[in-house]
Structure 1
Amino acid sequence: MWVPAVCSKPEPPPPCHHCDHPITLAGTQNYHQNAAMNLQITLELHAFNVYLSISCCFDQDVLLKNFAK
């Protein structure tokens, strides 16, 4: 079964040359929650595709007709 790898947290951006405080990106503040949510969605879509392909195979079988319904 294919399981996507969880990416590591990106490095913080370099400090700004015009000021003393580092640049913060809004997208990296919730990185771990977003990565976990993306992983869950990916796994559910993969499971759906597996079940769909299995149901198509069973629907073609004469002994298991209408199993996919």
Structure 2
Amino acid sequence: MTSADWAWRTSTYSTDRGECVEVADAPGASAVRDTKHRDLGALFFGSPEWRAFVDAAKRDAF
């Protein structure tokens, strides 16, 4: 499966200053990519790793 096979959506953590990422989910996995550089690929995570990533992003955002 490549990043082109995923259903991407803009993250709710994206800003109007151009700091945008897209996320996609599949059973047991999630992915994130930069909206300005989609051609560079994406980072893919298993469910436990994705949860840890989101939790860390929430803690560090404020």
Q: Which structure has the highest helix share of the two? A: 1
TM-score strictly above 0.5: no
Task: Give the greater-gyration-radius structure (CA).
Answer: 1
Q: Which structure has the highest strand share of the two? A: 2
